[in-house]
Amino acid sequence: MADPRYVDLARVLVRYSTAVKAGDNVLIEGFDVPPEFMAVLVQEVCDVGGNPVLEMKSQRVQRKLYLNATEDRMKLIADCELYRMKKMNAYIGVRGIFNAKELSDVPGDQMGLYERLWMKPVHLEQRVGHTRWVVLRFPSPQMAQMAKMSLEAFEDFFYKVCTKVDWAKASEAMNPVVEFMKKTDKVRIVSPGTDLRFSIKGINVMKCDGHFNIPDLEIFTAPVRDSVEGVIQYNAPSTNRGFTFENVRFRFEKGKIVEASANDTARLNTILDTDEGARYIGEFALGFHPYIEEAMDDILFDEKISGSFHFTPGNAYENEADNGNRSAIHWDLVLIQRPEKGGGEIYFDDQLIRKDGKFVHEAFVGLNPENLRKN
């Protein structure tokens, strides 16, 4: 029997996140997701009059494609998927985790072919820019283990963070923040090991209120490409290309990462050398989900952590908050600033906005946890 919470989640995704209406073509893509949930999602799309197109994938099978990647093979798959994506009005991507390390033995050059020839044209350019899309993880024993919880406890947590937020209230509370940030020039961020300065002048600001990711709750923009100066020391782990990076540290000059280190510095620099844009920042975002507090090395959760921000090497969102940076990489790395994680401050034009993870400026206080939970 399907979990009764499937229906609540499917309704959020279809009726709120992607706002599917009669006649919409909707691609539903699932990775290692129970068929029972995919069936509920298909039914929900049909119930509102949409036209579902279903794709079910396995990371174990995808690994074989990446291991055997050639330019011709990646271009062929991309051409087929791009043709389909261009016919879609909406995209719902549901991604389970069978094994978080499944891609750890895929060579970087092979993953680079996938990212550059398949991921970039189909998803970063077409899907992100031309569909109403939402992406989410789906609870699994692997995710529960990553979160250091039992499966039952993690499932309770998962459905709470996805369905127990007052999304409409959160969306309204973001509006004054967006307007404030659109008028901001200088940003300074200070934390242990971090002293970062950059400008966001003239760059658009976007609110994420459940229409891109579930769980959601971030506001993002991008730094002026050449403006970033200083040092950042991230304090949340991040898995990329199957390897978990920790203690990632970047030093910037004129926007470029000129020095990078981590628990595997050589592997880190291989990713940053994917293309020219990989050493520049494509996104700066504030995270403030009221129920997400600990990193679990899953970016769809970690980038929303209460009292966090992420500072992203790689591609900027061309149609949302563009600073002109282009890359096959878009790697969200997270720094948590709550007191138990070391604290820190964020300043916009020399005004203190957030201290130790808590918003203190009047335009931002509506985003503090107590103001976002559903009654």
Label the pairing between strands 194-199 and 206-208: unpaired
Nearest residue to 164 via CA among 369, 368, 2, 364: 369
Residue 201: the pLDDT is 98
Radius of gyration in angstroms for the set of CA atoms belonging to the chain, rounded to a whole number: 20
* Number of domains the chain contains: 2
Query: In the predicted model, what is the mean pLDDT of residues 145-151?
Result: 89
> What H or E segment, with its residue span, contains residue 2?
none
- Rounded to whole angstroms, the Cα distance separating 77 from 211 reads 27
Same domain, 60 and 191: no
- Predicted confidence at residue 324, as pLDDT, reads 96
Quick: pLDDT tens for 223-251: 999 999 999 999 999 999 889 999 999 99
Tell me, yes or no, whether 201 and 339 share the same domain. Answer: yes
CATH of the domain at 151: 3.40.1830.10
One domain, residues 203 and 319: yes
For the chain, the residue count is 375
The answer for residues whose C-beta is within 8 angstroms of residue 109's C-beta and 6 or more apart is none
Last residue of a domain, one of 163, 186, 219: 163
Band (168; pLDDT cuts 50, 70, 90): confident
Residue 373 DSSP symbol: B
135 with 174, same domain: the answer is no
pLDDT in tens, 80-100: 999 999 999 999 999 998 888
Range(s) of the domain holding residue 13: 5-163
Same domain, residue pair 200 and 153: no
- Point out which residues pair with 321 in neighbouring strands: 317
